[in-house]
Amino acid sequence: MVVIGAGMVGAATAAALAASGRRVCVVDRTGPLGGTTAAGEGNILVSDKLPGPELTLALRSIALWREFAAEHGPAAEFEPKGGIVVAHDEQQLAALRDLGSRQAAAGVTVQPLDAGALRQAEPRLSADLAGGALYPQDAQVQPMRAALAYLALARRRGAVVVAGADAIALETTPGLVSALVTSRGRIATAVVVNACGPWSADVARRLGSALPVRPRRGRILVTEPLPVVIRHKVYEADYVSAVASDSAGLQCSAVVEGTASGTVLIGSTRDAAGFSVRPDPAALAEMARRATALFPFLAAVRAIRAYTGFRPASPDHLPIIGADPAIPGLFHATGHEGAGIGLAPATAELITALITGAEPLVDPAPFDPGRFAGHDPPGATFPQVSAWRAEPS
Amino acid sequence: MRNERVSFTFDDVPMDAQRGQTVAAALLAGGVSSWRVTRSGTRRRGLFCGIGNCFDCLVDVNDDHAVRACLVPVHDGDRVRTSDSVGYSPEHRA
């Protein structure tokens, strides 16, 4: 079996397929961590999910992350730190309480925090906040280290990872996949998994199919290394609505978290701009302003760099996991938008069940790639390499 | 002027440097190649990029906490210290 894409989803999928006894080859046009996995924060969240299929997948995925972390936690910098969502005013707090009670009914652990409890949980937070909620199940990994740990696990189970192999086309013998043609040669296989994140629409097109996945851009600002002053993943309540929004325009809501190396990551933005990594100082300034409103001490902290990444967004904000509707033997595991790190283990488990015929633990129907059949695929051809210098200034 | 020497201390140990050298250059010239450890306490850090980008060479100079040794010139009488931490804490600039 061939997995295209050596990011977090491809790595976890390779490990799960190899665990089922399959011979697995992972190909990537560059190498491990060449795309979205290397441009995120490593979120493993239930707190930002509305009750529904994605939350069900997230709860299963958190359980799998904890199993993985029992053995590989330090290698992946797994931190079960918990998330705190904060509300600026009473109106936001009421909405947060309502969301929390619906999430709790769906199996999420939610602990309401009044203004005092909020400051106790996260002492550096602004005194102006109305309150918040603690989500102890939220966790964090260093996504690059986590993906490499999954790839290492896949290798120990016999998988092979081939870097610099760009997927070019599928060969089929009446109807069924028989080989994947790559820039480094042909690999005979009856099963191909497309785990190419925001590039999976382009890869699907090369393979004779179509997927409505588009890049949703995000920026992250990185501070100088600090002592541990921010304990949880902390974000504004309106982040949940920003995630669910369909707007192509720039949206910004503060997401702040420390990392094991001491830097603090400040997000987040969302906009649609193809694969442009052109710097946007105004967006960074807005993130800094919002983060400083949450944590006033950050005003005296230096930002040392920023980076840009692309989330694989699907039209209905649900991941795309399952069999291609037209080509037997082709599968997709993509469309996780900003939740791919968190959802990777459950995605890998689900796609493996669908490929091997095992009983899935999570209902695959909401994630079926066939739900878009008949829709127009995105018309634009996505560039293979992002290069802001290629654009007019 | 060219070979004028200045004196400073590094963790209370007297050292000297050529005027105009950065703190990092002075430490390296004095045989000190690392002056910080990562948060895990196991990995040593010193000069890496040398141009102010990586923030790996942080050091305390007099009352300034966590400055980049590669950018700051050393002055006569400077007290240079390894940081107790990897960087800023709110108390340091309160």
Q: Where are the domains of chain A?
A: 2-49+143-213+316-372, 80-138+215-313
Question: Which domains, and CATH codes, for chain B?
Answer: 5-85 (3.10.20.440)
* Residue B93 predicted with pLDDT over 70: no
Nearest to A262 among B87, B90, B93 (CB): B87
Statement: residue B87 has pLDDT above 80: no
In the CATH scheme, what is the homologous superfamily, with its name and number, of domain A2-49+143-213+316-372? FAD/NAD(P)-binding domain (3.50.50.60)
* Mean pLDDT, chain A, integer: 92
CA distance A62 to A344: 10
Backbone angles phi, psi at A154, to 5 degrees: -60, -40
pLDDT digits (tens, 9 = 90+) for A107-152: 999 999 999 999 999 999 999 999 999 999 999 999 999 999 999 9
pLDDT of residue B53: 87
Beta bridge partner(s), residue B79: B9
Please state at what angle helix A143-156 crosses helix A53-76, rounded to 10 degrees: 80
- The pLDDT value given to residue A266: 97
Whether residue A124 and residue B40 make contact (CB cut-off 8 A), yes or no, is no
pLDDT of residue A244: 76
To the nearest 5 percent, what fractions of chain B are helix, strand and coil?
Answer: 10, 35, 55
Residues of chain A neighbouring B38 (CB-CB closer than 8 A): 261-262
A10 exposure class (CB count in 10 Å sphere: 0-12, 13-18, 19+): buried
- Cα dihedral A246, A248, A253, A259, rounded to 10, equals 100
- Please check the confidence at residue A235 and state whether its pLDDT lies above 60: yes
pLDDT at B56: 86
Chain A residues within 8 Å of chain B (Cβ atoms): 124, 224-227, 229, 260-262, 297, 300-302, 304-305
Q: Which of A52, A53, A98, A31 is nearest to A363 (CA)?
A: A53
Tell me how close the Cα of A262 comes to any Cα of chain B, in angstroms: 7
Reported confidence tier of residue A250, pLDDT bands at 50, 70, 90: confident
DSSP H or E segment with residue A285: helix A281-294
Amino acid identity, residue B26? A
Contact, A74 vs A126, CB < 8 A? no
What's the burial of A136, exposed, middle or buried (CB within 10 Å: 0-12/13-18/19+)? middle
| Region A346-362 average pLDDT | 97
Residues of B in contact with A231 (CB under 8 A): none
Q: How far apart (Å, rounded) are the C-alpha atoms in residues A90 and A125?
A: 17
Residue with tokens 């610099």: A164
Which among A84, A135, A96 has a CA at the least distance from the CA of A257?
A84
Q: Which residues contact B94 (CB under 8 A, 6 or more apart)?
A: none
Confidence check: pLDDT of A176 > 70: yes
Q: Which of A7-11, A261-265, B88-92 has the highest mean pLDDT?
A: A7-11
Residue A96 has pLDDT above 60, yes or no: yes
What ipTM was assigned to the predicted interfaces of this complex? 0.72
Which of the residues A222, A301, A307 would you substitute to probe the B interface, choosing the one with the greatest number of B C-beta atoms within 10 Å?
A301
Q: Which residues fall within 8 angstroms of residue A177, CB to CB, at 6 or more apart?
A: A170, A171, A189, A190, A191, A192, A327, A328, A329, A330
pLDDT score of B14: 97
* H or E segment and range at residue B37: strand B34-37
B39 contacts A260? CB cut-off 8 A: yes
* pLDDT reported for residue A375: 55
CB A263 within 8 A of CB A224: yes
Percent of chain A with pLDDT over 70: 95
Report which of residues B52 and A227 the model is more confident about: B52
Length of chain A: 393
> Full-prediction pTM beyond 0.90?
no
Joined tokens for residue A139: 């966790």
Architecture of the CATH domain A80-138+215-313? 2-Layer Sandwich (3.30)
pLDDT of residue A98: 95
User: Closest by alpha carbon to B36, among B80, B78, B6, B77?
Assistant: B80
Buried b (16+ CB within 10 A) or exposed e, B6-42: bebebeeeebebeeeebbbbbbbeeebeebbeebeee
Q: Which of A244-248, A314-318, A324-328, A331-335 has the lowest mean pLDDT?
A: A244-248
> Is-contact B70 B53, C-beta < 8 A?
no
In chain B, the residue whose alpha carbon lies closest to the alpha carbon of A299 is B90
How large is the average pLDDT for residues A40-51? 95
Rounded Cα gap, residues B9 and B24, in angstroms: 13
Residues of B in CB contact (< 8 Å) with A are 38-40, 53-55, 58, 66, 85-90, 93
Strands annotated E in chain A: 2-4, 25-28, 43-44, 83-87, 111-114, 131-135, 139-140, 160-163, 167-173, 176-182, 185-188, 192-194, 214-223, 233-236, 251-258, 264-270, 303-313, 320-323, 330-334
Closest CA of chain A from B93, distance in Å: 8
In this predicted structure, which of A85-99, A124-138, A248-262, A295-309 has the lowest mean pLDDT? Answer: A248-262
CB A229 within 8 A of CB A297: yes
Nearest CA in chain A to B37: A261
- Give yes or no for residue B84 having a pLDDT over 90: no
What CA–CA distance (Å, rounded) separates A168 from A186?
10
Give residue B86's pLDDT: 52
